[in-house]
Each structure stands twice: as C-alpha cells, then as structure tokens.
Amino acid sequence: MTIATPRIPRYELHCHLDGSVRPGTVADLARTQGLLLDRPVEELVVAPAHCGSLTRFLTYIDLPLQVLQTPDALTRTARELVEDWKADGVVHGEVRFAPQLHGRLGMSLDDAVGAVAEGLAQGRTATGVGTGLLLCCLRHQSPDDSLAVAETALRHRDVVTGLDLAGDETLYTAEPHRAAFDLARSAGLPCTVHAGEAAGPESVWEAIDVLGARRIGHGVRCTSDTALLNRLRTDRIALEMCPTSNVQTGAVPSLAGHPAFRLLAAGLPVTISTDTRTTSATTLQREFEALSRTPGWTGRHEALAQQNAAQAYFTPRSER
C-alpha cells in the first residue's frame, strides 16, 4: 500500500522493535530457523482490535521474540524499521527494545545492542532518517537485571539515547528499579517510563518523582488528577500516546474517548506514536487518519503533536 506524503515531517518517539517486525520477516526468519507455524503468520503477530488487556496484547509479540535471538535477525529487523519509517514520512524515529530478552541462544546484552545499532546505522545510510535507540528495563525483573541494562546503555552511549521501564504497572511498581535510573540520569542519559497505561495517576507520579522520567509512555490515565496535569504541563513532560494500541489493550475504551485531543487543547505536550507497528497493524499515517475521524481533531492538532515530538526526542550524542 502506498502511504500518502504527509504535510509535515514526523517524529516517532514510542516504537517497540519486537512489536514492529514485518510479518513477512517473521515468517522468513521462522522458516530459516526451522520453526513450524501452525497458522498464517498474520494471525500470530497482529493483535485483535480489542484484546481487553495488556497481558493478552503482549502474547502477539511472543513469536517475533522467538525469532529475534540472533544478531543477524536483530540487524535486519532494525534496518527494515528505518525503511518503514521513511515510507511513513518519519524524519527521526526512536526504537526501544529489551536486550535481556534476546539471550536464549547465548547472545549477550552488548551483542544485542550492537546488532540493533548496526541495523539502525544501515537504515540511516540508506534513507537519511535519523534514529535513536532506547533500552528497556522490565518491571517484573529484578533490580539487578535493570542495573545491568542501565550499565549496558552507558557502555554504548555512542548509540544508546535513553533508558525506559516497561511492564505491567498494576502488578509491579517502579521503585525497585530506582538504582538503574539513578545511574542513567547521573551519566546524563535521559529516561522515559511506561506509566498511566494499565494503572492510574499514581503510576505517573512515581515515574516522575522516583525515576526522574522526562517523558511518559502512554499516560492516558492521567486525566483525573489536576495536580498531575499541571506538573506535566509546567515541566513539559511529554506524553507518548499510541491511540490504536491504547484501545487494543483497554487503556482507553474507544478511539473517540482517547484523551489526546483534549490534553493537547489543554496545553500538555502530547505526542503520537504507533507503539507496535505490526502488533497494532498501524503506521503514523493511519494513527493520524484515525484521529482525524474523532470529534474536534484537525490538522492543527497533528502539527502540534509533531512539534511536541520534535522538541521531546532524546538527542543522539552525535547531534549534540
């Protein structure tokens, strides 16, 4: 499908590598690795419109993770993502992944980061799209695991632009991971945290005050706390909202009820991303087209969201 040329340059801040592997690439890697698929690959990697929970949504990433256990697979996938950004009108994209999930065949954290960085470099050379790489700590893992990820990020400061915390907020708090985020911030590595997606405003407060997040992944459940909204607005803490994904996981009931429009109108630094291009079967073009069909959304809001993203992306060391 040909994607229409966007009116303005686009920036994507929230995109998971393992949720953005092309279905054809998943099938090809599975075939090469001797994995037998019992259903068409699209049924295994594209989540339904309403999963009802983040837990079910994440099961559609199981197969991509299974085939992303070699450096070559990671490099190919990262390169193809940059190509997909180019086709989507993205001039700068940030991708995030958890290197600790790619060691089933013995790949080290450093090797995983190096493989993704190589794919991004190949993509930049071929397309001219700027890239950033964020490493994800995971809420359900131990503080030592997160510290190892943060230390890996600092060993690769030439290619890693930020640290993230992902996972189910309803089951795991952010506090145990404070040491990892303190280490990152002390070295000047900016942080973002998934919060306000599965849990409420208290999760966002914790991300800001405990982990020092400069951006919030999703944040759709922040709307009931006026003090929090004032803090986000005053400190210009960007919200990385992903409308299609937010509906799929049940974070918001419907696209019509998504808070992006009213938060933008209230002066908050809302940005729009895909979250998982394959799992959500989406692109930024499709996200903005869907938003344009909701009451009140206009091209002016898209321009404002992109302006916010252009100001909020984590600048690679080479650009400083």
Q: Is residue 41 part of a domain?
A: no
Residue 222 lies in a domain: yes
Q: What is the pLDDT of residues 148-165, one digit of tens each?
A: 999 999 999 999 999 999
CA dist 208 and 173 (Å) reads 13
Q: pLDDT (tens digit, 9 = 90+) per residue, 221-272?
A: 999 999 999 999 999 999 999 999 999 999 999 999 899 999 999 999 999 9
Indicate whether 219 belongs to any domain.
Answer: yes
Is the pLDDT score of 90 beyond 70? yes
Looking at the domain assignment, is residue 318 inside a domain? no
- Range of the structural domain that residue 147 is part of: 10-20+47-61+70-312
Comparing C-alpha atoms, which of 68, 77, 53 is closest to residue 107? Answer: 68
For the domain that residue 270 is a member of, what is the CATH number? Answer: 3.20.20.140
Angle between helices 178-186 and 143-155 (to 10 degrees): 20
Q: Could you give the residue numbers annotated as active site? A: 197
Domain membership of residue 266 (yes or no) is yes
pLDDT single digits (tens) 49-72:
999 888 899 999 999 999 999 999
φ, ψ dihedrals at 228, nearest 5°? -65, -45
Chain mean position to CA 258: 18
Burial of residue 310, with CB atoms counted within 10 A of its CB: 0-12 exposed, 13-18 middle, 19 or more buried: middle
Q: Kindly state whether residue 4 falls inside one of the protein's structural domains.
A: no
In this prediction, residue 6 carries a pLDDT of 47
Q: How many domains does the chain have?
A: 1
Residue 28 lies in a domain: no
Assigned domain for 3 exists: no
Q: Are 72 and 25 in contact (CB under 8 A)?
A: no
Strand pairing report for 238-241 and 130-138: unpaired
Name the nearest CA neighbour of 198 among 252, 240, 144, 158. 252
> What is the pTM assigned to this prediction?
0.95
Please answer whether residues 248 and 275 qualify as being in contact, where contact means their C-beta atoms are separated by less than 8 angstroms: no
